[in-house]
Structures are given as C-alpha cells and as structure tokens.
Amino acid sequence: MTHTKKRIRDSWFSAEHNFGGLSAKLSAVETSAIVLLPVPYEASTTYRAGCRHGPSAIIEASTNMELYDEELCFEPCAAGIHTVRPLDVVDDAGEMLKRICTVATTHVERGKFVTLLGGEHTVSLGIVRALRAAHKDLSVLILDAHADYRESYRGNEYSHACVSRRIAEDCNLVLAGVRSLSREEADSLKASNTIFYSHQFRAVRGKTEQKALIERVVERLGPKVHISIDVDVFDPSIMPAVGTPEPGGLLWDEVLDMLRAVITQREVVGLDLVELAPVAGLSHPEFMAAKLLYRTWGYLLKSSCGKR
Ligand SMILES: [Mn+2]
C-alpha cells in the first residue's frame, strides 16, 4: 500500500469517489471500458446484516490499492473504470431488479463491460436479465458457499436464498464452491449436474488435479458467461465479512485460478460481486474484494487483447 496516497472520504456523490480513486480522465463514462454499478440493496438477509455497506467499503478500500497489477504486469485502470452513482434502493425486489436491468442495459448497449457491486445476492438477477437480452445462450457461473436454489424462501421468490434457482430458469447455471444447502436443493442440483462442491476442491492433491477439476467447471459453460461472485465462497478465515460464513471454503489462489481459466477459454460478458458485509475493525475483507475485482478486470483486458 502506498502511504502517500490520500484517502478519499467524500460522499458517494463526489466525482472523486470512484473505484481506484481514478482521475476524471481515467474514470469518464465515455472513454471507460469498464462500468461499475454499486447497488447497496439489502432486504432479505437472514443472519448477520450489513451487506448494504459493502459497495462503499470496497470502493473506499480500492482508493488505497496499487493500480499496477504485479501478476499481469500492467495497469488495468488505463482502460478506464467508470463508477456509476449508487442506485437508489427500494424495498420491492421486483422494482429493484427492474432498475438494475435498465441501468445495466444502457451501459451494455454502449459496449461497456458492466460489473455490478452488491448488496445482497438477489441483485445479480438484474444484471443477468440485462445480459440475457443482449446475448443469447448465456451461461452463469456462480461462486457461492450456498446453493441458493430454493423455489421460494419465507414466501419470497426473490430472496437471496433463491437467486440461483431464478437464474437457472433462463440460463445455463453452474455453481462452484458450495457447502451449504438443503436435501431438496442437493437432489435437484444432482439431477441437473450443475454443482461443484467446495469439498471437491479441498480434496484435490496438487496442481494437476486442481486444474482438471477447474476444466470440468469450464466445460459445463457455454461460449458466453456471466460470473457472479458471492464473497462467502472464500473460506471465512480469509473472508470473515459475510452474512452467513461457512467453513471449508475456497482460497484466494484457487478462485483466481478458476477465474483465469474461465476468462481465457470463454467470452466473459458480465461480472458481479455481492454479499460483503463489513466488520468494524477489519479492513482486509474489503481490500481483498477490491483486488479481486481489479485482478478479474485485468484478466479480461489481457484476454480480449489476445483474442483480437
Ligand atoms: Mn452465499
């Protein structure tokens, strides 16, 4: 971390409050390849609340992060990252998803790579709808400790606990890193062959076996992919700032290996990162989430250079 960089503590509406604390030139919407859409929506959290504070914590952490990527040897921010003003939140999930879809569609139609920053996992449905309209045969890879595959939960079909079920109704769904689900969810997911459990990753011995398992995940995806990352996919020892932590999760390098493999072998058309609920006194979770986004954009930018 640089010690000279000034922390930016302005309000959401300040022009400087954008991902990476980028200059106006590097964050103008017209010239940015990447558009970040913060959605501090939280309505159906069932355990520890706070994911509505995730977007602001991650963006603030990102303003203290090095913008040179030491793995990729370039500065992904040179492609431009525009941070949209956080969406106004309404309680009604149907209305919230409509708003997300409208804003995401505007940017997708302008050729931007849209990244949604939640908030609770329900928001992913909004960007998936926008991408589905633009790309037929969309596959969605969800990295999550929870299957979230219930038909409805506590009478709410738009609960975070149903998000992958809703996505599977319209897209080819692949779940990875799961370690918490009901028997009914396990039975239906087994039948559709779309689930990779965290214990499968934990059981691999060495890089060759790990690579083979990741290849099986990639093979299940069609040519166009949206990636949805619920940060609770990570082991709680490295990512404690989540509403419902589950032991036995994935590690930093494993998630990067999977993202790198998917991005180099498929056309990734969208991304979201959700469910970070900051913990007072801990800053590594939001730094990790900011770096994860930045690294993923780096993979995407490198990969699209190579493909053209
Ligand atoms: Mn989850």
pLDDT tens, position by position, 167-209: 999 999 999 999 999 999 999 998 887 999 999 999 999 999 9
In percent, the amount of the chain with pLDDT more than 70 equals: 94
> Which pLDDT score is estimated for 168?
95
Q: Is 12 inside any structural domain?
A: no
What is the total count of domains within the chain?
Answer: 1
> Which pLDDT score is estimated for 4?
38
Domain enclosing residue 77, as ranges: 19-307
Q: 161 C-alpha vs ligand 1 centroid, how far in Å?
A: 8
Query: Which residues of the chain are modeled with pLDDT < 70?
Result: 1-16, 305-308
Q: Is 75 inside any structural domain?
A: yes
Q: 230 C-alpha vs ligand 1 centroid, how far in Å?
A: 5
Give the residue carrying structure tokens 């859409």: 37
Starting at the edge strand found earlier in the chain, the sheet holding 34-39 runs: 81-83, 34-39, 113-118, 267-274, 224-230, 138-143, 172-178, 195-197
pLDDT tens, position by position, 232-261: 999 999 999 999 999 999 999 999 999 999
Which has the closest alpha carbon to 258: 138, 141, 149? Answer: 141
Q: Is 8 inside any structural domain?
A: no
Q: What is the pTM of this model?
A: 0.93
Q: Is 2 inside any structural domain?
A: no
Q: 242 C-alpha vs ligand 1 centroid, how far in Å?
A: 8
> Which pLDDT score is estimated for 307?
53
Domain of 196: which CATH number? Answer: 3.40.800.10
Which has the closest alpha carbon to 21: 32, 9, 30? Answer: 9
Would the annotation count 230 as a binding residue? yes
